[in-house]
Amino acid sequence: MPKFEYIAMTAGGERVRGVLAAPTEQAVLAELESRRLIPMSLSARADKVARGRGFSLRALGTAYGQMGDLLKAGVPLLRSLRLLANRRSKPRLAEVFGELADRVSSGEDLAKAMADRPNVFPNVHVAMVKAGEKGGFLEPVLHRLGQMVMAQADLRGKVIAATMYPMILAFVGSSLLVVVFVVFVPKFKDMLKDVPGELPAVTKAVFALGDLVAVGWPALPVVAAGLVAGVLAIGRSARLRRTIDVLRTRMPVVGPLVRTLAAARFCRMLGTMLDNGVPLITAMTIAREAAGNVLMERAIEEATEAVRQGQALSPPLASSGLFDDDVLEMISVGESANNLGEVLLTIARTTEERVDRLLGAALQLVGPLLILLLAGAVGTVAAALVIPMTRMARML
């Protein structure tokens, strides 16, 4: 729906600015009239940020924390939003907060204004802010929301940092092998074509692979584009995503890490929402939408239905196989003690520590394994080239 910027006068002569979403200018004028505002100017707004991508978790977490600090210091909400809108270090995020300020100044709730920016503010954030506004405790909600978002950013950073080394090692090793097969193997093939007798099988295999790589390496960008297209197709197909998620969760080294990450994300999201006044069913529905894992989505859906029927939360989660026994026991105790939100946050912290250990163990295995594979490939190529040259030297 298009948005219109307006400047209007109140009955008391005060000049106000704002943004309204409406199908036509006549609808905006009717809305201003219902608010007893006299329009002075009205123009359609080119909403560039709405078509853009979201922002980094750290930027959002910092903004939430700053808003909480300002509210705690006694600064009104509208003034806090204006201050964040004046930040020049992040102009795109400042523009979004400027629009939030305009919407709040026109009488809208902050949560409603955030909900109209789904590319910036996820449903989890909107639900927590809505609960804080209705309950009158927005300041602690913003602080906890900032802590949750920063914790997610830290966890994502650790995962990326841990996987960066194996990815770089695999890229360098693959590039080295391509150079060997494209540049060096053809030269040795010309040198060894006059060797009497039949070449060893490993040499024939290396020469055949060299011919294949020499002919096909220009097509690597096309293959890469095909892989990207395949990944996008997997993202659009629920069946393919479920198959990939099942394979990832059952892999020997990656599987425990994937399960632990999914459990940590769920516990932190659900625990933070429950700890900030979001009802359990609503919180679980939102957590399902933001799970990011097909198996976790199904587990949350089954658990939500069980809770709606008056059953406990832990049994349907246990059937998913994504949660360890100690985690399920703590969830059961939290339900019985009526402090599930606090327990889930504790589980999230301990689970994220477990992720650190799993990442370290996986990295210790993957790095040496890649080095061994690269060394084995280089050694095989060297042996394939040295054996015929040794035979040639003996003949001389």
**pTM, full prediction:** 0.61
Regarding predicted confidence, which is higher, 46 or 339? 339
What local confidence, expressed as pLDDT, does residue 330 receive? 92
Q: Check: CB of residue 281 under 8 Å from CB of residue 304.
A: yes
Mean pLDDT taken over the chain: 80
Q: pLDDT band for position 183 (50/70/90)?
A: confident
**356-373 burial: b if 16+ Cβ within 10 Å, else e:** eebbeebbeebeeebeee
The confidence band for 366, taking pLDDT boundaries of 50, 70 and 90, is: confident
Residue 49 binned pLDDT confidence (cut-offs 50, 70, 90): very low
**Is residue 37's pLDDT more than 80?**
yes
Q: Which residue has the higher pLDDT, 254 or 285?
A: 285
Question: In which band, very low, low, confident or very high, does the pLDDT at 51 lie, cut at 50, 70 and 90?
Answer: very low
Predicted pLDDT of residue 237: 58
Please write the tens of the pLDDT for every residue from 228-239.
676 666 555 556
pLDDT band, very low/low/confident/very high, at 23 (cuts 50, 70, 90): low
Tell me the pLDDT band of 160, cut-offs 50, 70 and 90. confident
Q: Report whether pLDDT(52) > 50.
A: no
pLDDT of residue 263: 86
Helix (H) or strand (E) holding 145: helix 138-179
Rg of the chain over CA atoms, in angstroms? Answer: 29
pLDDT band at 69 (very low <50, low <70, confident <90, very high): very high
Give me the mean pLDDT over the 292-299 stretch: 80
What order do you get walking across the sheet with 3-9 strand by strand? 15-21, 3-9, 38-45
**In this predicted model, which residue has the larger pLDDT, 378 or 44?**
378
Judge whether residue 245 has pLDDT over 90.
Answer: no
Question: Rounded to 5 degrees, what are φ and ψ at 137?
Answer: -130, 50
- 311-354 pLDDT, tens digit each: 888 888 888 888 888 889 999 999 888 888 899 989 988 888 88
Residue entry with tokens 């505002």: 37
Rounded-to-integer distance, Cα 347 and Cα 326, Å = 9
Question: What was the pLDDT predicted at 265?
Answer: 82
| Ranges 70-74, 271-275, 364-368, most confident | 70-74
Most confidently modeled of 222-226, 351-355, 364-368, 390-394? 351-355
Q: Quick one: average pLDDT of 180-191?
A: 79
Please say if the pLDDT value at position 268 is more than 90. Answer: no
The neighbour count for residue 282, using CB atoms within 10 Å, is 16
H or E segment to which residue 9 belongs: strand 3-9
* From 112-121, 190-199, 313-322, the region with the lowest mean pLDDT: 190-199
